[in-house]
Amino acid sequence: MSATTGPLEGIRVLDFTHVLAGPFATRMMGDMGADVVKVMSATRAGLAGGVDHPYHAMWNRNKRVLQLDLSRTEAREIARELALKADLVIDNFSVGVLDRWGLGYEAVSPEHPGVVYLGMSGMGVTGPWSKYVTYAPTVHALAGLTYLTGVAGRNDIGIGFSYNDHMAGLHGVVAALSAITARRRTGRGQQIDMSQFEVGVSFSGPALLDWFANGVAAEPVGNAHAWESWTPHGVYRCAGEDQWCAIAVVSDEQWRSLCALIGAGDWLDDASLSATEGRRLRREEIDARVSEWTLGQDRYEVMRRCQAAGVPAGVVQTGVDLTQHDPQLAHTEMFFEFDDVHPTIGRLTVDRQPLRFERTPSTVYHRAEVFGESNESVARDWLGLSSAEVSRLESEGVME
């Protein structure tokens, strides 16, 4: 892997993460130029964690893979040497796994006081649920996000993708970079206990304050705003099968523009609809008429006409829309293909990380690696091992 150019160039990250939350954190750091070494074993790679699966490839670009069979003493000794060279050690194992291998913060920090450890467990290292196991759908349920994301009378819909995994990963990056910032001032690293559950609960902040202060228990609201009376504020069916466009009127001026656009002059003359609260009281009537207007039109045309009139509107875009039909993402070159073809998956596409650093841009993207590609380079760069030594470790199954 060649040198990178991002704002984190020079930062070394030792990555013991798997599935999504942790790998998304380290992918973000790799995208920003950190040297991320992902420790993996060919003997414990699971379905969606296997290096030949597109899911793995999505979240593990810009990392070098080092094979280590951590069930072996010599592999754990090598991992410890790596930790002693790292700025950040990150894991999302269950609580205590790194400690059992002698790789935890207490074992490494006396010799390397500058190291930062970020543990991204499901529930945090303390508490009666600390041993509970989670994936993003688990966290969504426990954090109240599943209950609230839906329509009235339903509590079984929830978020249709692993939102909390991404967001836990990004919050992990905030935590890691903050600890690295503190280290510059104090000279010392530290240990961070991040609970993916607590991250998820944070996303209901205003609803929780409303409960504690006012005793109001939040309920699912569909596409109405959770707390504001904004109307219309919905997703409306357009021409074609399962085609939709969102329209969100958040000001009286936008309301007047919408009325003019859809030919609702009677509403313009109706004083009871001139303010938001009055419109909320007639939401069904308004939604029905807006739907009537959108129904026969192409969804992108609805958006274009609304936006031209100063009314916020946006097509409900699928993954195909984002990657093939979205002119804004095409303009910003959000997506492109790796030149380097993946040995087993084939041609891979990149979704560029969205932070555009003008002086230190994330211009270097390397595809996710397969086993064996970087054993030698990592061992050389981090530990100064020779090719012959790496060959021995591979042949003896230590690098397995």
Partner 1 sequence: MTTDVAADAVGDGAGAGALAGVRVLDLTDDRAIYAGKLLGDLGADVLRVEPAGGDPLRERSPRLADGASLWHAYFGSSRRVVRTDDAAVIARLAAGAEIVLDCGRLLDADGLHAEQPGLVIVDVSSFGPTGPWRDYLAPGLVAEALGGVAATSGDSSTPPLQLHGDQYAFVGGVYAAIGALAALRHARETGEGQVVRLSLHEALASVLEHVLMWAWYHDRLPFAEGPVLPRQGSLHWSGAYVVMQAVGGSIMITPTPDFSKQAAWLVEEGRGLELLDERFMDPANVAELVDLTMATLREWVAEQEVEPFFHEAQARHHPYGWVMTTPEVAGNPQLEAREWWTRYPVGGGEVPGPGAPYHFSESVWAVSEGGDAVVLDGGDALDAVGWGE
User: Cβ closer to partner 1: 66 or 398?
Assistant: 66
User: Cβ closer to partner 1: 200 or 267?
Assistant: 200
Q: From the CB of 303, what's the least distance to partner 1, in Å?
A: 8
* Residue 165 annotated in active site: yes
Asked if omega into 232 is within 30° of 0 (cis), the reply is yes
CB atoms within 10 A of CB 238: 23
35 CB burial (10 A radius; 0-12, 13-18, 19+) = buried
Q: From the CB of 395, what's the least distance to partner 1, in Å?
A: 29
What residue type is 131 in one-letter code?
A: K
33 close to 7: Cβ distance less than 8 angstroms: yes
d(CA 276, CA 248) in angstroms, rounded, equals 12
115 CB burial (10 A radius; 0-12, 13-18, 19+) = buried
User: Cβ closer to partner 1: 350 or 398?
Assistant: 350
d(CA 299, CA 315) in angstroms, rounded, equals 6
User: Cβ closer to partner 1: 335 or 394?
Assistant: 335
Q: Which residue has the tokens 């892997």?
A: 1
User: Cβ closer to partner 1: 73 or 307?
Assistant: 307
Q: Which position among 31, 165, 242, 351 bears the catalytic label?
A: 165
Q: From the CB of 277, what's the least distance to partner 1, in Å?
A: 12
Tell me phi and psi for residue 318, to 5 degrees: -90, 180
**Long-range pairs, 156-162, Cβ under 8 A, ≥24:** 157/220, 162/20, 162/135, 162/136, 162/137
**CA dihedral over 382, 385, 391, 393, signed as positive or negative:** negative
Q: From the CB of 346, what's the least distance to partner 1, in Å?
A: 8
Q: How many residues does the chain have?
A: 400
Q: Torsion-angle region of residue 396: left (phi > 0), alpha (psi -120 to 50) or beta?
A: alpha
3-state secondary structure 164-186: HHHHHHHHHHHHHHHHHHHHHHH
331 CB burial (10 A radius; 0-12, 13-18, 19+) = exposed
Segment holding 116, helix H or strand E: strand 116-121
Tell me phi and psi for residue 331, to 5 degrees: -60, -40
Q: Which are the catalytic amino acids? A: 165
